[in-house]
Amino acid sequence: MGNRVIALLFVTIWAPLAGAQTAAPAVSRLEGRALTDTEWRQDLAVMLTSMKSLHKDLFHTVSPQQLEASVQKLSADIPSLNDDQIKVRLVQIGAMVRDGHSGVDVTFRPGLTHVPLWIVRYDDGIFVRSAAYAYSGTVGARVTAVEGVPWREALARIDTIISCDPGNDGQRLGWHLSIDLSDPLLLHGLGLSDSSSSATYTLEKEGKTFQVSLSPTMNASDLLSLPGPANWIDAQTTRGIQPLSQPWSEPITFTQVPGADALYLQFNEVSPPKGESMDQFAARFTRFSETHDAKRLVIDLRHNSGGDNTILRPLLISLIRSKFNHRGGMFVLIGPVTFSAAQNFVDRLELYTDAIFVGQPTSANVNFYGDPAGKELPNSHLDLEMAHLYWQDEDPRDKRTATFPEVAISSASFADYVEGKDAALDYCLHAPVPNRFEDLLTVASAAGEEAALAQYRSYVEDPLHVYSGELEKRLNTLGYKLLAAQQSKQAVVLFQVNAVMHPDSANAFDSLGEAETANSEREAAIRAYRRSLQLNPQNTHAKQAINDLQAAPSAHP
């Protein structure tokens, strides 16, 4: 039965694709192409069929009409495209699904596919961070153009092939960019170059501008295992700097930090450490933390793009039970590489510990599609992968597009990297424990609305709090906690602040009406409810509350 359904899907999809073909012979191909038009269209049809059958919820972001239109457009364009252009168009269609686990894999193909440069995006541009020794002169150079195309435009094209979770561009800031920029096939397919046999970069270093043209000498897996071969050189190692954070060290390791009264746990990959199971590692970490003095634990997840989330339990239990599980005892560094199983880990730390998250947003939605199932396309042998599971670690109503840090510290400039400066890590090791928004507003509310309003504005204007989302909801929840604690006057202050800061929120005024009622301020409550009704005429609670208040005898005859 299942095979028959797949066959019917193939016919349904292939028929319109065949109709979209041009008048060229079915076996035609552009000069120099490895596959015919028909073979590419067969791959396209299989790809669309497989996307629909493999993905847990293919149309969670893209519409069927959008996907079909893109497929039809590529089918019609195939006769005028070279193989690399077709491959890139397939990747772009896969990226329309908008989840970081789904897409067409062109990057991890056999053979020598990438040039020996590791190019990284920083706040101040893109730079060659490391390279094979033969090209050590490029290390530290700013990349100003790729194949003669200004770097910002080149990155805009690269962005079209990187699949990201809805509302989250983190993958475009992480290692995907570094891999794609060093792949001549992708540069060719994106129209940045005339050939896939080499890549040319315009570089700027020490006031001089020069170009380098490189041929592929390694594959993507080699790049991801940097520092890799002994003949590679990094911008930090040229200065003899060995920072605490090592992106390419063990999957997971820990050390005591001299002078910081802290332990540093670097978690680079959700996989067992070499020679140990995760149970053994967690037990070793627990023994160490219990026998060594340290008041803080810093967990660094900034280089962790995932792995096997089924092995997380022993480590989580160790952390939950540890002496560090209190406000100010556990800091977690996150960023645009934190993804997949690392996002699962972040979710569970958020649920079960008092960890303070520092850095940049993660590159996955809090609840996300993952665990890709694969299908090899029959003619090109490209791998299609579609997420076939939905991970819901948090509340099903939680629509956050990432885990946003409580303390926001952006990525370093390239100069900071070269000098080994790490502001986010330094904050976790040495900064005073930050005050919670709720604690600050509770104290301020006792001094009245003006003081609470000033505290609210001061909090949101602090650059460290640029990712403080849902403050309306948080302040509303805090107000109701004070109401429940019979602190109605302070609750009114908080609801008044919420109404001032969110003047278009019907809920903020509805809550203010409820607090004013509890505080026996009937006229003020009616005014608040009326404003709520103006903003939301369907608010039946406000309508009933107004009727009840008007019908009640006045407390002041």
Residues 207 and 337 reside in one and the same domain: no
In a domain, 557, yes or no: no
d(CA 407, CA 161): 31
Query: What integer pLDDT is reported at residue 554 of this predicted model?
Result: 62
Residues 64 and 165 reside in one and the same domain: no
Q: How far is CA 153 from CA 147, 192, 212, 220, 345, in A?
A: 11, 10, 19, 23, 35
Query: What integer pLDDT is reported at residue 557 of this predicted model?
Result: 42
Q: pLDDT tens for residues 493-504?
A: 999 999 999 999
Pairing of strands 407-408, 117-122: unpaired
Residues 287 and 416 reside in one and the same domain: yes
Query: What integer pLDDT is reported at residue 481 of this predicted model?
Result: 96
In a domain, 386, yes or no: no
Last residue of a domain, one of 176, 207, 239: 239
Nearest to 468 by CA among 411, 398, 401, 406: 406
What is the Cα gyration radius of the chain?
28
Residues 425 and 335 reside in one and the same domain: yes
CATH code, domain carrying 194: 2.30.42.10
In a domain, 183, yes or no: yes
Residues 410 and 459 reside in one and the same domain: no
CATH code, domain carrying 270: 3.90.226.10
d(CA 79, CA 151): 30
In a domain, 373, yes or no: no
Which of 78-87, 262-271, 316-325, 415-424 has the weakest average pLDDT? 415-424
Range of the domain at 68: 2-104
Query: What integer pLDDT is reported at residue 5 of this predicted model?
Result: 32
In a domain, 245, yes or no: no
Residue 357 banded pLDDT, cuts 50, 70, 90 = very high
pLDDT value at 4 more than 70: no
Q: How many CB atoms lie within 10 A of CB 91?
A: 23
Last residue of a domain, one of 104, 139, 169: 104
For residues 94 and 374, the answer to whether their CB atoms sit within 8 Å is no
d(CA 97, CA 149): 28
Query: What integer pLDDT is reported at residue 123 of this predicted model?
Result: 86
Task: Tell me if residue 220 falls in helix, strand or coil.
Answer: helix
Residues 441 and 426 reside in one and the same domain: no
In a domain, 111, yes or no: no
Q: pLDDT tens for residues 118-156?
A: 999 998 899 999 999 999 999 999 999 999 999 999 999
Residues 172 and 208 reside in one and the same domain: yes
CATH code, domain carrying 521: 1.25.40.10
What is the number of domains present in the chain? 4
Query: What integer pLDDT is reported at residue 258 of this predicted model?
Result: 87
The predicted model scores a pTM of 0.89
Residues 423 and 457 reside in one and the same domain: no
Bond preceding residue 434 cis, omega within 30 of 0: no
Residues 458 and 348 reside in one and the same domain: no
Residues 53 and 192 reside in one and the same domain: no
Last residue of a domain, one of 104, 128, 144: 104
Q: pLDDT tens for residues 244-257?
A: 887 766 899 999 99
In a domain, 379, yes or no: no
In a domain, 36, yes or no: yes
Residues 425 and 446 reside in one and the same domain: no
Encoded amino acid at 127, one letter? F
Could you list the beta-strand ranges (E) of 268-397: 296-300, 330-334, 356-359, 368-376, 383-391
Give the 3-state DSSP-derived string for 74-113, with helices as H, strands as E and coil as C: HHHHHHHCCHHHHHHHHHHHHHCCCCCCCEEECCCCCCCC
Tokens coding 359? 């850095």
Which of 4-13, 190-199, 204-213, 293-302 has the weakest average pLDDT? 4-13
Residues 220 and 283 reside in one and the same domain: no
